[in-house]
Amino acid sequence: MKRVYSDEHGWIAEHIKDILCEEGIDCMLKNLGLSGGMGELPPTECWTEIWVMQNQNYDKAKIIIDELLKQQPTTNENWQCQCGEQIEGQFTACWNCGHRHK
């Protein structure tokens, strides 16, 4: 088991973990409830962490995370998903089928 990512915002770490799981990488979150300990503990020790369960998946997970973090939305135009749903431009995935917009 190896730590691959941490973030002060737990919801970001949870979202990234979900994407890693979709890619077939078994991982877990740690420190979800430690935000209340800030002040008594160093702040970065309270950040939500993503750990990959198998060390051999670390490099693949790191690449996926790096790609996710460098992505910047270039447009806010609405788009149509392959399932036919109309999606507002601020969203990068379809609410109906989960397809990710490129």
The model's pTM is 0.66
- In this predicted model, what pLDDT tens digit does every residue of 19-75 receive, in sequence order? 999 999 999 999 887 777 777 778 788 899 999 999 999 999 999 999 998 876 555
Beta strands in the chain (DSSP E): 2-7, 27-30, 48-52, 79-80, 86-87
- pLDDT band at residue 86 under the 50/70/90 scheme: very high
Greater pLDDT, 46 or 96:
96
| Measured distance CA(54)–CA(88) in Å, rounded | 37
**Band of residue 16 on the pLDDT scale cut at 50, 70, 90:** very high
Q: How confident is the model at residue 100 (pLDDT cuts 50, 70, 90)?
A: confident
- pLDDT value, residue 101: 83
